[in-house]
Amino acid sequence: MSKKPSQGRKSAGGSAAQSGGAGRDITHRVKSAKGRKTSSTRWLQRQLNDPYVHEAKRRGYRSRAAFKLIELDDRFKFLKPGSRVLDLGAAPGGWTQVAIERIKPSPSGYGGGKVVAIDIQEMDPLPGADCLHMDFMDDDAPERLKTALGGAADVVMSDMAAPATGHPGTDHLRIMALCETALDFALQVLAPEGVFLAKVFQGGSEQTLLAQLKKDFKTVKHAKPPASRSGSAEMYVIALGFRGIAPEK
């Protein structure tokens, strides 16, 4: 399953340690400050000592989450040149950057790949992607996405997560609701043999989701990429080989 970041620093070309420039042997300690919560101090210390954070900065990725997608694609090979990709819950844009690098969208928008990203949070533009600032749950979001994509999607991927409440059961139900909504949309827009990727939390209620995925896709896998922190309950479900019919263009 997951490795600790110091043991398996991954990048597009292998581990971060192998790629050079990210290795750090010094552990940074953050002193508690007056008025700062203990949880904030722990978060800051974790960021300062996270090799994925440093490697993301070195490579120009907007978030360490970029390495999760890199590791998942290195394993399952779904971001192919010329593909149409929808990135749901994209901000700040780490996954979108990786998708652009790997599918190589056409500057003209014709005869090549296409990346469309959406998030309720504002996101700075990225050359090679159409970035929509809106709530995916809005009634008009599906039509806006379909129009921007300009055809059937080859990949629908979601790293969406609801704000954490601190209550594991509630947080699990919230993220599963987002995942199920993303899947409902994916079933409308995916081309045959298309791919659905989404973040889930470990728990009991994903069995309904898995049953739906196994019905509509040829292969369904769970994966926890090394860049996903070992202490986190997050995992990713990837469904390959959509059995459906391509939507009209």
**42 in a structural domain:** yes
**95 in a structural domain:** yes
Mapping DSSP to helix (H, G, I), strand (E, B) and coil, where does residue 209 land?
helix
**5 in a structural domain:** no
**248 in a structural domain:** no
Pair (96, 169) in one structural domain: yes
Spatial distance between the Cα atoms of 156 and 5, rounded to a whole number of angstroms? 27
Pair (44, 149) in one structural domain: no
Q: How many domains does the chain have?
A: 2
Q: Would residue 124 be called left, alpha or beta, if left means φ above 0 and alpha means ψ between -120 and 50 degrees? A: beta
Pair (197, 146) in one structural domain: yes
Pair (82, 20) in one structural domain: no
Look up 10 and say whether it is catalytic: no
Write down the catalytic residue from 10, 114, 146, 199: 199
**230 in a structural domain:** yes
**1 in a structural domain:** no
Pair (28, 87) in one structural domain: no
Pair (208, 128) in one structural domain: yes
pTM for the full predicted model: 0.77
Inter-CA distances, 239 with 55, 152, 178, Å:
29, 17, 16
Pair (185, 93) in one structural domain: yes
The residue count of the chain comes to 249
CB 121 within 8 A of CB 161: no
Spatial distance between the Cα atoms of 180 and 183, rounded to a whole number of angstroms? 5
Burial class (CB in 10 A: 0-12, 13-18, 19+), 39: exposed
The per-residue pLDDT string of the chain (249 residues; one tens digit each, 9 = 90 and over) reads 333 333 333 333 344 433 333 444 445 454 444 554 544 445 344 555 568 888 989 999 999 999 999 999 999 999 999 999 999 999 999 999 999 999 998 776 566 789 999 999 999 999 999 999 998 888 888 888 989 998 899 999 999 876 666 776 777 777 788 889 999 999 989 999 999 999 987 765 578 888 899 999 999 999 999 998 887 778 899 999 999 865 555
Spatial distance between the Cα atoms of 213 and 239, rounded to a whole number of angstroms? 7
Pair (216, 234) in one structural domain: yes
Question: What residues contact 181, with CB distance under 8 A and at least 6 apart?
Answer: 136, 137
Spatial distance between the Cα atoms of 70 and 1, rounded to a whole number of angstroms? 16
The CATH number given to whatever domain includes residue 172 is: 3.40.50.150
Annotated binding-site members: 93, 95, 119, 135, 159
Pair (192, 217) in one structural domain: yes
**4 in a structural domain:** no
Burial class (CB in 10 A: 0-12, 13-18, 19+), 129: buried
Query: Which structural domain range is residue 28 located in?
Result: 10-59
Annotated binding-site members for S-adenosyl-L-methionine: 93, 95, 119, 135, 159
